[in-house]
Amino acid sequence: MPLNSINPKLTKAWSKLQDHFNELEGNHFYDYFKKDSGRAHKFSISWNKFYFDFSKNKINVKTMSLFNELLNEIKLKSSIKKYFEGEKINTSESRSVLHTALRADKDDKIFIDDENIVPKISQAKNKMRLFTEKVLSGSHKGFKGENINTVVNIGIGGSDLGPSMVIESLSYYKNHINTHFISNIDGDHIHGILEKINPETTLFIIVSKTFTTIETLTNANTARDWFLKNTKEEDIPNHFVAVTSNVENAVDFGIKPENIFPMWDWVGGRFSLWSTVGLSISLSLGYDNFSKLLAGASKMDSHFRNSEFSENIPVILACLSMWYNNFFDYSTHAVIPYSEDLKSFSKYLQQCSMESNGKQTDRSGNFVDYQTGQVIWGQTGTNAQHSFFQLLHQGTKIIPSDFIGFRKPLNGNDLHHDILMANFFAQTKALMEGTALDPQNDNHKEFLGNRPTNTLLIDKLNPENLGSLIAMYEHKVFTLGVIWNILSYDQAGVELGKKLAKNILIDLKSNDFTNHDSSTQNLLKKFKSTE
């Protein structure tokens, strides 16, 4: 069954929230702390290795109560049940949304069309584990008998962003495998990587559900041609594997069936790192660490599925984003991790959130008359403090922000970590207080404060905690989609540009630009000009 189609603006709670917003508007939430010494305790959650403080937000007890009313009116609890149990909630594509099943326990039973999919998932995981062990142990060798020491992942979108982000984020746990990612169709990019690697010791992973994606297949064929300059066709199976649902095309490419890892249509690309798409993760970090990543996500799944809304971290994050997006008109959101290893995390969340919830129609196909989606961006602290924090503190745009920090450093350098985390705590304090305690006469030095932040303090950056962190944001995205009554798991907006690009490519070869508007015609002519 699909999710209920409920216009949030027509709920009683939405109307109450509007009245409540009018009451709160203009209040400085620093005053809430002065009036209530227990505020931080009221608006914080301890869960597993996470401490979530959302007290520095423009909310009070009444706000939280109204959030709960809204969630009940839109039937979030039943939506979560459908999400985890494999109902076809991606109705535009008639698909289930079950990336959560990829990290389920092997004894669980999750059905799609009366088939328990968990055994298939377990088989695929076992295949990944065995292949990883063969490569890392040296039993899977290159065509000249050399051990594999380099992995090149060729994919795009979720087939690239998720695995590359995880490997970068967990660099502390990385093994001897050198890992590269090729996604952009830019020929200079792939050329630069191919120049650095040795065909005798390199394994290519081609990740494409259909094995027809033009960017991925163009890059894959370029890699294949490069490989064959000094080798033979029969050497391809040692150096190329595929993650795909199109076995036939992969075999035609030269890949052995035993080196083809399955993909399923109930896993969207931007949520696929938990699947065989994560093969590069397994090879770079070891299967045990990949398994811990999944275990952490599974723990967050249980928290999201079973916790009351008032104690549910993803749900509260979603409600706060809705609150700022739809009532305060704060349309962007910054994610600022205080760990250099997480430098790609915000970029990963951009796809997870913006491709999911950047929608203009509701689940019934009607154009919405309220804001959906958020512009997600960010950078690591303390670097961010020396770039865009000026705007956060004194700009005219209010930008709610998530601050993510860790209690323990990975390398035991307490001096550096204390300085880092002193900045972490200082920034959220400054964004809230401004110069309220020490007002300045000079307006240039005045900080108005009243800038909302969430603080997430995590024990340590390890595979399990990273898995929980990623899953937390996945469930935030889902919750926002339910609130906004939109389809979060298709991406029709991505397809139009791809279709037009195919047509333009044909026109570039024929030099016939007459089917285009005058601007595009002129640009194409300029591109093809020899002058």
How far apart, in whole angstroms, are the C-alpha atoms of residue 125 and residue 258?
Answer: 14
CA-based nearest residue to 316, from 97, 52, 49, 139: 52
Backbone φ and ψ for 47, nearest 5 degrees, come out as: -145, 125
CA-based R_g, the chain, Å:
25
Q: Is 498 a catalytic residue?
A: yes
Question: Would you say 317 and 476 are in contact if contact means Cβ atoms under 8 Å apart?
Answer: yes
Residue 163 makes CB contacts below 8 A (sequence gap 6+) with 153, 155, 181, 273, 277, 278, 279, 280, 281
CA diameter of the chain: 77
Q: Burial level of 174, CB count in 10 A (0-12/13-18/19+)? A: middle
Decide if 261 contacts 124 (C-beta within 8 A).
yes
Strands (E), 105-194: 111-112, 115-116, 150-154, 178-182
Residue type present at position 372? T
CB 339 within 8 A of CB 346: no
Alpha carbon distance 103, 406 (integer Å): 24
DSSP character string of 44-101 = EEEETTEEEE--SSS--HHHHHHHHHHHHHTTHHHHHHHHHTT---BTTTTB---GGG
Q: Mark whether 355 is an active-site residue.
A: yes
The residue type found at 523 is L
* Cβ count within 10 A of residue 284: 28
Cis ω for the linkage preceding 382 (within 30 of 0): yes
Among candidate residues 34, 144, 416, 498, the one labeled active-site is 498
DSSP state of 366: P
Is there a contact between 190 and 219 (Cβ–Cβ < 8 Å)? yes
Report the distance separating Cα 124 and Cα 114, nearest Å.
20
The residue written with tokens 């089917």 in the block is 515
Residues 224 and 240 sit within 8 Å (Cβ to Cβ): yes
Q: How many CB atoms lie within 10 A of CB 444?
A: 6
Task: Determine whether 180 is an active site residue.
Answer: no
Choosing from 12, 109, 386, 445, the catalytic residue is 386
Q: Are 53 and 457 contacting, i.e. CB atoms less than 8 angstroms apart?
A: yes
- The residues, any chain, with a CB within 8 Å of residue 498's CB and separated by 6 or more, are 214
Residues carrying an active site annotation: 355, 386, 498
